Structure 1
Amino acid sequence: MEHLREAEREFREKIATLILAGFGLVTALAWNDAIQTLFDAFFPKSNGLIGKFIYAFVVTAIVVTLSLQLKRISEKKE
């Protein structure tokens, strides 16, 4: 019986993780659209391939910087 309860608990945890991942994806897509719109406002003539690569580079640089900052904050709390 204990094995069944453990399996049920793990199942609930996995479902919660999947639901949160889905919410995270929706949030990421919303931010992606907002950032693309902002980028287009500042660089209206960059609609081609080069503009998309510039956008991808800028977003990557921002995400890496934020990730490093969050890692440092997390390490300080430990």
Structure 2
Amino acid sequence: MDNTFKIQLLETTAALITAAFGLVAALAWNETIKSIIEVCFSSDDTIWGNLIYAIIVTIIAVAATMLIARSIGKLKAIEAKKEEKKGCDKE
């Protein structure tokens, strides 16, 4: 078996396993947040509960996305500085 194929197979498998664990974690948080809303806003009106749930999940998703994007930006800046320094050292 070709090493390139083995690497691609392992990378794909790792990505799928990571995605599966991410889904399990998301479902666990889904149930947790729903339970908290039911306790805090005990009401017969599920529309308001669903609205509050959707708002909370949206805020969490936006915050997480922004944090991840910021972290990636910082890492890219660090790598760019390293590459720039390598280029200067060769001259």
- TM-score scaled by length of structure 1: 0.79
Instruction: State yes or no: 1:14 paired with 2:18.
Output: no
Structure 1, gaps ≥5 residues long: none
In structure 2, relative to structure 1, the CA distance for the partners of 1:61 and 1:67 (3 Å cut) is same
Offset of residue 10 of structure 1: 0.3
Offset of residue 59 of structure 1: 1.0
- Contact kept, 8 Å, 1:46 with 1:52, in 2: the verdict is no
After the TM superposition, which segments of 4 or more aligned residues of structure 1 sit over 4 Å from their partners? none
In structure 2, relative to structure 1, the CA distance for the partners of 1:67 and 1:43 (3 Å cut) is same
Offset of residue 5 of structure 1: 1.2
Identity %: 36
Aligned residues: 76
In structure 2, relative to structure 1, the CA distance for the partners of 1:61 and 1:8 (3 Å cut) is same
What CA RMSD, in Å, does the superposition of the two structures yield over aligned residues?
1.9
**1: CA distance, partners of 2:38 / 2:27:** 16
Could you tell me which amino acid in structure 2 is paired with residue 15 of structure 1?
A: T
Offset of residue 47 of structure 1: 4.8
Counterpart secondary structure, 1:44 = coil
Corresponding residue for residue 59 of structure 1: 57
Of residues 12-21 and 44-53 in structure 1, the stretch that sits farther from structure 2 once superposed is: 44-53
Offset of residue 71 of structure 1: 2.2
Give the greater-gyration-radius structure (CA): 2
